[in-house]
Structure 1
């Protein structure tokens, strides 16, 4: 069974696995409250999967600090 999106594709967007997990978990909690999905027709029915799809679609990302 192949999981979508793949970890390799996601790590091209966000290098750190820790950051990827933290961001997707936070977004999943937000999705469970608001149901406000930023992508059309998500493949996943679970909130974490939807969050990962949003990361792959570059709708959800970590802003870089310009200090």
Structure 2
């Protein structure tokens, strides 16, 4: 599994909660047989989702996250 620092993740979003929610939603879609947006050797959905997020392949809106609270 990759272990990006929070400083790297902070470039994506300042909220740790938002990063977790974005990653978990994408991982759930991967488990439901969605195809990965990147080429990776990993088989784990959370790792794939985190790699996609780090590479900017996942788009999201802040309003999507506010509805979860």
Same fold (TM over 0.5): yes
Structure 2, unmatched stretches of 5+, are: 64-69
Decide whether aligned partners of structure 1 residues 5 and 14 sit closer, same or farther in structure 2, where only a CA change above 3 A counts: same
- Root mean square deviation, CA, Å: 2.2
Query: 1: CA distance between counterparts of 2:11 and 2:23?
Result: 15
Give the secondary structure class of the aligned counterpart of 2:11.
Answer: helix
Q: How big is the shift at 1:25?
A: 0.7
Counterpart for residue 59 of structure 2:
61
Task: Normalising by structure 2, report the TM-score.
Answer: 0.72
Counting matched residue pairs gives 63
Structure 1, unmatched stretches of 5+, are: none
Counterpart for residue 18 of structure 2:
19
Matched ranges for 1:36-51 at <5 A: 36-42=35-41, 44-51=42-49
